[in-house]
Amino acid sequence: MGRRAVKKRKRRTAEEIRERLLQAAREQFKAKGYAGATTAAIAKRADVAEMQMFRYFSSKADLFRAAIFTPLTAHFRAFNAMHMPKAIDERSIGERARLYMTELQSFLGEHSKMLITLLVAQAYAEPALGTEVNGLQSYFAEGAALMSARAARSSHIDPATIVRVAFAALLGCITYKEQLFPNAAANEAAIDEAITEFILTALAPHSDLGSTGGGRA
């Protein structure tokens, strides 16, 4: 009898194993939440032994930080760098604000599940997770500074509070868009435009942020 050939699996690099674990972790955390996801399920999805997984990440909290915190912070930093320059260009405040809100909607639409996963995990006070996404905190701080510098008139409401409220409203609209607008009650473009108008009007009712230059009574 001839020996049956045993196909050997290609040896994976440490980088490949780590990336498989991170991808599996993102999928599990988004689907199950921090509490519901298990290291066993993550390891199985990544096709990696659970014992081997702990050579790369010391705990579930450590894996969560690497899979969710780190990329989300990087995304926010990149967004901040692109949309919050120190110099003010020649475009009107309204044009810049409208472009910013449109692209922030796109950004949150792409990363909302990751952000919600993080916020829910922190809501249940997992002490090992830490308390902040640095990029998000930078976004709030820089957004408040930007708003203060560009507003035509001062507001009696703290800009930092307004920025956070606007962010929460925008995230809520995007996250629950299907529930809020069932059965194609409005097309995507109309929904996005309505959200933009609402946020811009709320942010600056006494400035030109809500206007692109056209006259309003």
Amino acid in the structure at residue 131: T
* % of the chain with per-residue pLDDT over 70: 67
Residues of each domain in the chain carrying CATH 1.10.357.10: 59-203
Q: Is the pLDDT of residue 153 over 90?
A: no
Q: Tokens for 129?
A: 């997770």
CB atoms within 10 A of CB 117: 23
Instruction: Report the candidate in 198, 187, 6 with the shortest Cα–Cα distance to residue 101.
Output: 198
In whole angstroms, give the CA distance from residue 112 to residue 71.
13
Residues of each domain in the chain carrying CATH 1.10.10.60: 13-57
Segment 124-147 shows an average pLDDT of 66
Instruction: Report the candidate in 159, 168, 160, 178 with the shortest Cα–Cα distance to residue 199.
Output: 168
Q: Please give the pLDDT value at position 24.
A: 96
In this structure, are residues 97 and 151 in contact, taking their beta carbons and an 8 Å threshold? no
CATH superfamily of 13-57: Homeodomain-like (1.10.10.60)
In whole angstroms, give the CA distance from residue 127 to residue 124.
9
In whole angstroms, give the CA distance from residue 115 to residue 175.
10
In whole angstroms, give the CA distance from residue 159 to residue 209.
14
Architecture of domain 59-203: Orthogonal Bundle (1.10)
Q: What is the pLDDT of residues 107-117, one digit of tens each?
A: 788 878 878 87
The pTM assigned to this predicted structure is 0.63
In whole angstroms, give the CA distance from residue 34 to residue 128.
12
Q: Is the pLDDT of residue 72 over 60?
A: yes
Q: Please give the pLDDT value at position 52.
A: 95
In whole angstroms, give the CA distance from residue 173 to residue 191.
9
Segment 161-165 shows an average pLDDT of 81
Amino acid in the structure at residue 8: K
> Which contiguous run of DSSP H or E holds residue 182?
none
DSSP 8-state class, residue 10: P
